[in-house]
Amino acid sequence: MKILTFITLTLLLFLTGCQGKIKRPEALPQDNLIQVYFNNNQAKGADYSEPYRKIKRPGDDLEAIIVEAINQANSSIDMAVQEFRLPKIAQALVKKQQAGVKIRVIIENQYNYPLNEFNSARDEDEYNKDKYYEFFAFADTNKDGKLSQEEINQRDAIIILKNGGIPLIDDTEDGSKGSGLMHHKFIVIDNKKVITGSANFTPSDIHGDILNPESRGNANNMLTINDSKIANIFTEEFNLMWGDGVGGKPDSKFGLQKPVRQPQEVRVGNTNITVMFSPISTSQPWSVSGNGLIEETVSKASKSVNLALFVFSEQKIVDSLENLQNKGVEIRALIDPNFAFQAYSEGLDMLGVAISDKCQYEANNKPWTKPAIMGVPDLPIGDKLHHKFGVLDREIVITGSHNWSAAANHTNDETLLVIENPIIAAHFSREWERLFEGAELGIPPEVQDKIKQEAAKCPTIEVRKSAGNNNLNSVVNLNSATQEELEELPGIGPALAVRIIEERRKKHFTSLDDLQRVSGIGAGMVKKLEGKVSW
């Protein structure tokens, strides 16, 4: 045993000493007008020291890139991001406003609160406790076990904005309680530069979980696009949501209140970029929706399709992918481990299997005859595959904040980009290959066991009928769904999802009307959830 321990320690010391000598790929060239960044970039030169945990690591410092862009602003900064928790960005915005730059900020209403309000005295559930403990560790900079007002003022991004007089609204500014999620992640600077991607402006999405030294941040991407035409398109979207701003008339437009707009194609240097914003009503043809644009774009692939997706639950897109595979196109997909093997996941279709919910399948479920290459990446504990991108023929990239789901299509405020440029595609292809290396492919043993158990207990398992809704293509079980699955439902955000989980711990739901036991859910929301949930 002593010999083995000595050998193990020697090997660890050797590997640690050689870390700097491990061969890393050369940095890829960037397009002159469109730059691509990844918080887990492994290329040479992509290294930084995290400002909060003081960890030296590979990756592009997305926060620093944002701050640098803000510092260069001369006239205006518009920012729309679902969740905003990074103090250095907040401080940079306040400094710019003091210098005379016009600042406007929009966030999702469920994150529009100071983090120090999340405390175990007020909220007894585990989710809120974890949030508070994480913020405590983040803000307690002198590590004395106490939070001073000065520490809170320096670390709570929302308080920094409010103390600095930054105009800020959320998606209740239209007079509603909020519609879906304000899920955008973009900044427009001086009406000529756009920063956008898949990352929220939080420590966990960009750097890593504060209380988890192994975490390296949810896998995310970010683009900077230097073009006034693109900036104008994003400014139009921002202005619809902003209305007349803070405390004015309820003329802000979020969700389905926004007018239906067609995809807009712009030539940026040598690049074609198509921009589209969600949501769109189910009364409109699916083909003109964001998911319709994804399907139309994907169907053009002739050689390969590589996907890295947080959520994939759109049946029509996966059916189109199967048609491509039948024509000889190589299809490979990576999906976040928390979603890949849920009953509504199209990753199951790609593997040729199905998981029922109480012996019922999602609408139009269609497992592939010939399974594709599909799996989950090997991520540090606590991190998620938060990308929403596909690479077609190593020339075209689909990306943005838009998950490949019905909620993104029909409920949330989302950004969807289609970028035709092999230089940009090379960056996303390298990120995909990084995630693919070491990924667990195929059907895990526990999923195989679950399928066998269902086959034994479900007499109609081969019928594949569904209690689902043909538009939303998924049924969520209220008594077993994860918080993330609940948040995919229309009108259910993080706070409501937590309350649903807490209520079912007290007593399982036995009917749709039981949802009204949850604070904040009334008859109107229950009606909207008909056909979308089970119990």
Residue 120 confidence (pLDDT)? 47
9 inside domain: no
Contact yes or no for 466/475 (Cβ under 8 A): yes
Residues 232 and 270 in one domain: no
Residues 197 and 235 in one domain: yes
Residues 290 and 368 in one domain: yes
Residue 127 confidence (pLDDT)? 62
Amino acid at 460: T
Residue 464 confidence (pLDDT)? 36
Q: The CATH number of the domain where 430 resides is what?
A: 3.30.870.10
53 inside domain: yes
497 inside domain: yes
What is the DSSP secondary-structure string of 158-184? HHHHHHTT--EEETTTTSSS--S-B--
The Cα–Cα gap between 509 and 493 comes to 19
Residues 37 and 108 in one domain: yes
Q: Which two tokens stand for residue 194?
A: 């756009």
The Cα–Cα gap between 523 and 530 comes to 11
18 inside domain: no
Residues 195 and 222 in one domain: yes
The predicted model scores a pTM of 0.82
Residues 388 and 508 in one domain: no
The Cα–Cα gap between 261 and 273 comes to 16
Which region among 242-246, 415-419, 468-472, 512-516 has the lowest average model confidence (pLDDT)? Answer: 468-472
User: How many Cα atoms are found within 13 Å in the side-chain-facing hemisphere of 199?
Assistant: 31
Residues 327 and 409 in one domain: yes
Task: Give Rg (Cα) of the chain.
Answer: 23
23: Cβ contacts below 8 Å, ≥ 6 apart: none
What is the DSSP secondary-structure string of 201-270? BSHHHHT--TT-TT----B-EEEEEE-HHHHHHHHHHHHHHHTT-TTS-S----GGGSPP---EEEEETT
Handedness of CA 258, 288, 486, 115 (dihedral sign): negative
Residue 513 confidence (pLDDT)? 84
Q: Residue 6: is its pLDDT beyond 80?
A: no
16 inside domain: no
Handedness of CA 486, 487, 490, 496 (dihedral sign): positive
The last residue of a domain, from among 213, 242, 271? 242
Residue 356 confidence (pLDDT)? 80
- The count of structural domains within the chain is 3
Residue 463 confidence (pLDDT)? 33
Map residue 31 onto helix, strand or coil: coil
Contact yes or no for 83/201 (Cβ under 8 A): yes
Q: The CATH number of the domain where 504 resides is what?
A: 1.10.150.320
Residues 399 and 345 in one domain: yes
Per-residue model confidence as pLDDT tens digits over 285-336? 999 999 999 999 999 999 999 999 999 999 999 999 999 999 999 999 999 9
Residues 485 and 359 in one domain: no
Q: How confident is the model at residue 461 (pLDDT cuts 50, 70, 90)?
A: very low
Domain containing 220 equals 26-114+156-242
Per-residue model confidence as pLDDT tens digits over 210-268? 999 999 999 999 999 999 999 999 999 999 999 999 988 889 999 999 999 999 999 99
Q: Residue 8: is its pLDDT beyond 90?
A: no
Give percent helix, percent strand, percent coil of the chain, each to the nearest 5. 35, 20, 45
> Please, what is the average pLDDT of the chain?
89
231 inside domain: yes
Could you tell me where the DSSP H helices lie in 304-345?
Answer: 315-326
Contact yes or no for 279/298 (Cβ under 8 A): no
Residues 80 and 224 in one domain: yes
The last residue of a domain, from among 212, 242, 272? 242
Q: How confident is the model at residue 209 (pLDDT cuts 50, 70, 90)?
A: very high
Per-residue model confidence as pLDDT tens digits over 355-379? 887 777 777 889 999 999 999 999 9
Residues 382 and 413 in one domain: yes
Residue 84 DSSP class: B
130 inside domain: no
470 inside domain: no
Q: 146-152 — which CB contacts under 8 Å span 24+ positions? A: 147/116, 152/114, 152/116
Q: Residue 473: is its pLDDT beyond 70?
A: no
Contact yes or no for 460/361 (Cβ under 8 A): no
The last residue of a domain, from among 242, 269, 298? 242
- Mean pLDDT for 170-194 is 94
Residues 265 and 377 in one domain: yes
Residue 488 confidence (pLDDT)? 81
The Cα–Cα gap between 178 and 254 comes to 8
